[in-house]
């Protein structure tokens, strides 16, 4: 960590190639690709956590970047001021700025506090669960500065427990470990109750998926809940009951949650009970595609069906296969929607843009023999801000159809 701090104080200089798009970086694009950088013997030997001064081919400063020499994205912008000092005070300033935004949005301290590049901390994700924070330092520079980052988070938020979540696949590309552990305080002994949209969710921050809960769907949960009042709800790929519990809180008659994870469904059932809706909530464990087919064979019908699958297209190479999977979800889900009912389809794949995802969804609905009206398009909530110059930050799409 001391070496990382030294590089932040006295950063080495790296330069773009003459044909690199320096203008895009000056206009806010936060990444430098490996083929844009002069990688000589000295640069190639710099450790992955190095903070460096980036210059264009004419030796004009562009800012301070964090290096990842083994990655296609070889450098990530930290500060446009090449004379900035990346230290505890700098980190605390970033956290304070992020916290001020969330404090305007939410009455309770349950949200995404740091959303990576969009909050000026590339590769860093922090979710807040009251006095507990879950940190994903998915870049080598953030791992190297984890101690001052932890102190900045503690001092700014008053957190009594901070957990490092190391489950991200991106950490392996940065040469980092996969050990999730408590780095401040004591680990919660039970799932943390999270109030959201009138429901109570149970977040297992030590053993659950990602950081324990998906805050990004909060606004889409609310929209679906408004459609579901008085009706029967099917929540497929439900995780801990995201859509189903919000719909029950809004007055849905019943909700069935489908997921492949038994622990996730147990947390969903616990959340339904804590919300006072346990008698109207049911779960069904199994493969989502097989379960959708089985429900159709059983003649099941629901007034609102929502499918929120994992990222089927996490990269450009997986894009076409992912779009076929999204189309299949729509084709299997549409027959389960009662006439005049609603179908919600979601994608968290940044490699499948909105137009492509919408096209796959519409094809699937059409192949199921249903006619549809597109009534709403949703995105991640404002605690997951988008960086306008970086399309990848607009990863979440939610389409709502009336069939």
Report, as residue numbers or ranges, the catalytic residues.
Answer: 348
| Structural tokens at position 80 | 């446009």
* Residue 48 structure tokens: 């992955």
Which contacts qualify for 278-281: CB closer than 8 Å, 24 or more apart? 280/248, 280/252, 280/253, 280/254, 280/255, 281/241, 281/244, 281/245, 281/248, 281/254, 281/255, 281/257
Assigned token pair, 31:
């990444």
Neighbouring C-alpha atoms within 13 Å toward the C-beta of 388: 3
Q: Which helix (H) or strand (E) holds 144?
A: helix 140-144
CA distance 382 to 101: 9
Beta-strand runs (E) in 230-356: 232-236, 254-259, 281-285, 302-307, 337-347
> Tokens 């450009």, residue?
316
Both tokens assigned to 143: 């791992």
Please, how many CA atoms are within 13 Å of residue 364, restricted to the half-sphere of its CB? 25
Asked whether the beta carbons of 195 and 108 are under 8 A apart, the reply is: yes
Closest CA to 242 of 219, 276, 260, 226: 219
251: CB partners within 8 A, 6+ apart: 228, 229, 230
């Amino acid at each position: 960590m001391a070496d990382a701090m030294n590089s932040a104080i006295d950063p080495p200089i790296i330069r773009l190639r003459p044909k690199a798009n320096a203008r895009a970086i000056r206009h806010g694009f936060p990444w430098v690709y490996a083929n844009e950088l002069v990688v000589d013997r000295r640069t190639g030997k710099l450790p992955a956590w190095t903070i460096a001064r980036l210059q264009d081919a004419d030796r004009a400063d562009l800012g301070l970047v964090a290096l990842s020499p083994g990655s296609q994205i070889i450098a990530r912008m930290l500060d446009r001021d090449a004379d900035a000092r990346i230290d505890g005070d700098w980190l605390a300033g970033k956290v304070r700025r992020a916290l001020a935004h969330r404090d305007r949005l939410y009455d309770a301290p349950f949200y995404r506090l740091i959303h990576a590049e969009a909050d000026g901390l590339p590769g860093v994700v922090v979710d807040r669960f009251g006095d507990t924070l879950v940190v994903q330092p998915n870049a080598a520079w953030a791992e190297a500065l984890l101690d001052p980052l932890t102190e900045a988070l503690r001092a700014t938020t008053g957190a009594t427990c901070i957990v490092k979540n190391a489950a991200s696949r991106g950490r392996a590309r940065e040469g980092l470990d996969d050990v999730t552990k408590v780095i401040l305080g004591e680990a919660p002994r039970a799932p943390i109750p999270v109030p959201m949209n009138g429901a109570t969710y149970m977040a297992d921050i030590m053993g659950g998926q990602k950081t324990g809960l998906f805050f990004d769907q909060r606004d889409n949960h609310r929209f679906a809940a408004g459609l579901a009042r008085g009706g029967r709800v099917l929540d497929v790929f439900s995780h801990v009951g995201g859509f189903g519990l919000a719909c029950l809180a809004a007055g849905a008659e019943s909700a069935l949650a489908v997921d492949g994870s038994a622990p996730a469904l147990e947390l969903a059932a616990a959340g339904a009970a804590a919300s006072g809706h346990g008698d109207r909530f049911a779960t069904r464990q199994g493969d989502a595609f097989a379960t959708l087919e089985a429900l159709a064979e059983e003649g099941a019908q629901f007034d609102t069906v929502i499918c929120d699958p994992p990222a089927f297209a996490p990269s450009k190479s997986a894009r076409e296969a992912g779009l076929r999977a999204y189309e299949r979800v729509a084709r299997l889900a549409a027959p389960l929607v009662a006439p005049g009912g609603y179908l919600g389809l979601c994608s968290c794949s940044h490699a499948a843009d909105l137009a492509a995802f919408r096209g796959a969804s519409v094809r699937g609905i059409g192949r199921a023999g249903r006619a549809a009206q597109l009534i709403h398009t949703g995105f991640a909530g404002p605690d997951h801000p988008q960086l306008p110059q970086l399309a990848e930050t607009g990863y979440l799409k939610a389409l709502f159809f009336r069939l």
